[in-house]
Amino acid sequence: GENVEQHPSTLSVQEGDSAVIKCTYSDSASNYFPWYKQELGKRPQLIIDIRSNVGEKKDQRIAVTLNKTAKHFSLHITETQPEDSAVYFCAACPGGFKTIFGAGTRLFVKA
């Protein structure tokens, strides 16, 4: 069935270091991959997304890479700051209107 695996479940980094979150999807029809950030007590918010015709996308300190052959996609945060501390969700969209979310990664950035 459709599934998105996300690792690690918890990630702790020192301020200024990089953080990487990895996801694997099962449905090869997936062609859209959004990432959400959920701060404590707030709504999940879209931070970056990538479509299957692109291998990498960058927005300031955040980048996402996609390997369609391996069905892997990853979120990279460079020069982490305390305000990056949150839960991050990856998602894959098979068929255009469905969204399968990963289980989430809790990122702690230590000052």
Partner 1 sequence: EAGVTQSPTHLIKTRGQQATLRCSPISGHTSVYWYQQALGLGLQFLLWYDEGEERNRGNFPPRFSGRQFPNYSSELNVNALELEDSALYLCASRSGTVSNQPQHFGDGTRLSIL
- Binding positions for partner 1, rule: CB under 8 A: 31-32, 34, 36, 42-46, 49, 51, 89, 93, 95-99, 101-104, 106
User: Which residues, in sequence order, are bridge partners of residue 56?
Assistant: 65
**DSSP letters for 24-41:** EE--TTB-EEEEEEE-TT
Beta carbon nearer to partner 1, 5 or 65? 5
Beta carbon nearer to partner 1, 16 or 55? 55
Beta carbon nearer to partner 1, 44 or 74? 44
> For residues 108 and 71, what is the distance between their CA atoms, to the nearest angstrom?
27
Shortest gap between Cβ of 8 and partner 1 (angstroms)? 14
Shortest gap between Cβ of 16 and partner 1 (angstroms)? 26
Beta carbon nearer to partner 1, 43 or 60? 43
Shortest gap between Cβ of 83 and partner 1 (angstroms)? 19
Nearest one of 1, 18, 2, 12 to 74, comparing CA atoms: 18
Sign of torsion over alpha carbons 30, 59, 5, 24:
positive
Q: Considering just the CA atoms, what is the radius of gyration of the chain in Å?
A: 13
